[in-house]
Amino acid sequence: MAEQIHGHEVMQMMVEAGKVFTKATLRSAIAERFGPDARFYTCSAQNMSSDELVAFLEARDKFVQEDEGFRTEAERICQH
């Protein structure tokens, strides 16, 4: 299996971008940065697609809702 990327890296990418995303623009940014076939893991899940990762992060309140979409904050990235 190819190396997996931690979800924290996606969240850090979002923080560094400093912009609001939609699910579509976030998936596009993930594919551009990590590749269209990248797989992701977190502290409690493994081998997720970008769609699965976005759903996972959303379900765990890692996103801040905005009128145009959502963003994240560095404080929402767990440090373990």
Q: What pLDDT does 56 receive?
A: 96
How many domains does the chain contain in total?
A: 1
Q: What pLDDT does 77 receive?
A: 85
Kindly tell me if the per-residue pLDDT of 80 is higher than 80.
Answer: no
Q: Is 30 domain-assigned?
A: yes
Going by pLDDT thresholds of 50, 70 and 90, the confidence category of residue 2 is: low
Q: Is 80 domain-assigned?
A: no
74 to 5, 21, 27, 36, 77: CA distances (angstroms): 18, 15, 19, 25, 6
Mean pLDDT of 52-61: 95
Residue ranges making up the domain that contains 32: 5-74
Which CATH number do you get for residue 64?
1.10.10
What are the pLDDT digits (tens) for 9-54? 999 999 999 999 999 999 999 999 999 999 999 989 999 999 999 9
